[in-house]
Structure 1
Amino acid sequence: MIDSIKNVSSLSLTRGLNEAFSSNSVSATETPQLAPGENTGLDFASVIGGMAKDAVNNIKQAEISSFQGLKGQATTREVVDAVLNAEQSLQTAMALRDKIVSAYLEITKMQI
C-alpha cells in the first residue's frame, strides 16, 4: 500500500491514478475477513524496522547525492530533492520515537 501511495505522489492530478491504484494494491472488497486474534502476517516490530531501514536508506541516498552534486555529477534539484526527502524521513522517525516514548510513559503511570 505504501508503494501505491508513493506512486500517487509522483503523478499529476489527472494522469495515471488508475495505474497507481491497480498495481499491488488491494481494494476494500478484496480484503479477507480475519477472525479476532488471527495473525495478519505483519507485526509492529517488522513495520517499525522497515520504516527505520527506509529512513536510513533515504539519508544515505541524500549523502550520495550531495557528493555527486559536489563533483558536478548531479543537478542542484536532484540534490535538494534527496536532502529534503531525507529530512522528512528523519522528522517522521523522530516524531514516531516521541510518540512511542510518550505511550511508554503513559503505560508506566497506569495503576495496576
Structure 2
Amino acid sequence: MMKIDGISNSFGLGNIAGVTQAQPKSGESFASMLKQSLNEVNHTQVEGYEAMSGIATGRVKNLQEAVQKIEEAELSLKLALEVKNKAINAYREVMKMQI
C-alpha cells in the first residue's frame, strides 16, 4: 500500500465532516486550537486519499462511503483555505491602520 503523508504544516481551520464549532477549553491557547484544527483537516485529507486509493484498486466495499470521505476532504480543505484567506485579509487590514 502506498504511504500517504499528511499536510500537517498547511493552512486553514475546521473540519466540515462534523460541522461542529470548536469550543475553547479554559487556558487553551490559540496555537493549540490552530494545531488541533490543522490535525483535523489533515486527518480528513488522509482519509480522502485512502478512499481514492481504495476506489482505484477496487478494495472499496461501500462506494458511497468512499465518495463521501473524498467529498468531506475536499470541503474541509476548501473551508481551511477560506479561513486562511480571511485571516490574511484581516491581518492586512490591521496593518493598514494608523496608530
When normalised by structure 2's length, the TM-score is 0.69
1:108 corresponds to = 95
The separation in 2 between residues aligned to 1:97 and 1:72, in whole angstroms, is: 36
Matched, 1:91 2:78: yes
Bigger helix fraction: 1
The separation in 2 between residues aligned to 1:95 and 1:70, in whole angstroms, is: 30
Pairwise CA RMSD of aligned residues?
Answer: 2.5
Structure 1 or 2, whichever has the larger Rg, is 1
The separation in 2 between residues aligned to 1:63 and 1:50, in whole angstroms, is: 20
The separation in 2 between residues aligned to 1:78 and 1:66, in whole angstroms, is: 11
Unmatched 5+ stretches in structure 1:
1-5, 10-38
RCO (CA 8 Å, sep 6+): is it higher in 1 or 2? 2
Provide, for residues 37-63 of structure 1, a one-character-per-residue CA deviation record: whole Å limited to 9, x for no partner: xx9221211111111111111111111
2:3 corresponds to = none
> Percent identity of the aligned residues?
27
Matched, 1:67 2:53: yes
Unmatched 5+ stretches in structure 2:
1-17
Q: Between Structure 1 and Structure 2, how many residues are aligned? A: 79
The separation in 1 between residues aligned to 2:28 and 2:79, in whole angstroms, is: 20
When normalised by structure 1's length, the TM-score is 0.62
